[in-house]
C-alpha cells in the first residue's frame, strides 16, 4: 500500500520524504490556508520535493468551473492530480477531465454508492473519509471493505485512497483490506514508527554498551 502525506506544510513534507515514508501528497483548501501562501505556489513547491501524485483541490462547484480549474491545475506539473468533490457536477467534470487524460481524486466520499459512481466516471482515486464516519459512530473501515470488494468484481482502474486517517490502526486496517493508498497526517506517520518496546529496548542497549571495555 502506498502512503501519501496529507499536508500543506513544506517542512513536514520534507521530513516525511527524508524518512522514505511517502509516495505522494494530498492537500485541501483547509490545509493550504494554514500556509498563508497562494495555492499554486505551495503545490509547485511540493512537486519539487515529492516525485509522486500531488492532489490539488478545485474550488468551483459547477461542472464548467471544475473543468476549467482542473485544466489549469494539471498544467502546473505532470504529477498534479485534480481533487474534485463528490457531487453531481463533480462527477460530470471528472468524466470530462478523464477523457482528456487529467488524473482526478474524487474527495468527500462517504458511501459505497458514491464510490461506484466515481469509478464509473473515470476517477483515478476515490477518497473515502473514514475518520469522519467514525466521529458519527459509524464504522469508517467497513466502508473501505465495501468499496474494495465492489471494485474487485469489476474492471475499474480507480484506486481506493483512504482519507481522514486518525491513527495507526486505520493505516494497518487499510493495508489489510487491500486499499491502494492511505493519506496520513504527519503526526500519524511519526506514530507508525513508534512503539514503547522499541524505545525501552534501545535504552537498554545503550546502557549496556557503556559496560563494553574500551580499547
**130 touches 141 (CB < 8 A):** yes
- pLDDT (average), residues 23-40: 95
Task: Assess whether pLDDT exceeds 90 at residue 214.
Answer: no
pLDDT-based confidence at 176, cuts 50/70/90? very high
Task: Assess whether pLDDT exceeds 80 at residue 209.
Answer: yes
Q: How far is CA 17 from its chain centroid?
A: 14
Question: All domains of the chain, ordered by start, with CATH?
Answer: 2-209 (3.20.20.70)
The answer for residues whose C-beta is within 8 angstroms of residue 20's C-beta and 6 or more apart is none
Mean of all residue pLDDT scores within the chain? 96
Q: Which residue has the higher pLDDT, 209 or 42?
A: 42
- pLDDT (average), residues 146-170: 97
Is pTM beyond 0.85? Reply is yes
Task: Assess whether pLDDT exceeds 90 at residue 208.
Answer: no
Q: Tens of pLDDT along 109-121?
A: 999 999 999 999 9
Q: Tens of pLDDT along 153-162?
A: 998 999 999 9
Active-site pick, 14, 34, 37, 83: 83
Q: Residue 157 has which C-alpha cell?
A: 482502474
User: Tell me, what's the pLDDT at 146?
Assistant: 98
**4 touches 26 (CB < 8 A):** yes
Q: Does the annotation count 83 as an active-site position?
A: yes
Amino acid at each position: 500500500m502506498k502512503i501519501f502525506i496529507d499536508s500543506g506544510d513544506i517542512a513536514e513534507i520534507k521530513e516525511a520524504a527524508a524518512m522514505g515514508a511517502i509516495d505522494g501528497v494530498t492537500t485541501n483548501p483547509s490545509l493550504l490556508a494554514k500556509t498563508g501562501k497562494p495555492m499554486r505556489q505551495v503545490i509547485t513547491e511540493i512537486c519539487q520535493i515529492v516525485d509522486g501524485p500531488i492532489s490539488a483541490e478545485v474550488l468551483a462547484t459547477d461542472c464548467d468551473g471544475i473543468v476549467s480549474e482542473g485544466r489549469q491545475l494539471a498544467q502546473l506539473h505532470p504529477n498534479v492530480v485534480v481533487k474534485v468533490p463528490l457531487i453531481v457536477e463533480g462527477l460530470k467534470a471528472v468524466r470530462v477531465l478523464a477523457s482528456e487524460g487529467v488524473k482526478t481524486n474524487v474527495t468527500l466520499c462517504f458511501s459505497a454508492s458514491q464510490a461506484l459512481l466515481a469509478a464509473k466516471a473515470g476517477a483515478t482515486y476515490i477518497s473515502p473519509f473514514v475518520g469522519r464516519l467514525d466521529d458519527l459512530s459509524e464504522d469508517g473501515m467497513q466502508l473501505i471493505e465495501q468499496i474494495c470488494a465492489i471494485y474487485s468484481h469489476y474492471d475499474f482502474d480507480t484506486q481506493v485512497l483512504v482519507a481522514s486517517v486518525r491513527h495507526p490502526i486505520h493505516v494497518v486496517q487499510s493495508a489489510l483490506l487491500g486499499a491502494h493508498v492511505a493519506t496520513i497526517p504527519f503526526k500519524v506517520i511519526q506514530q507508525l514508527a513508534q512503539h514503547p518496546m522499541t524505545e525501552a529496548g534501545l535504552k537498554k542497549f545503550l546502557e549496556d554498551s557503556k559496560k563494553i571495555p574500551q580499547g
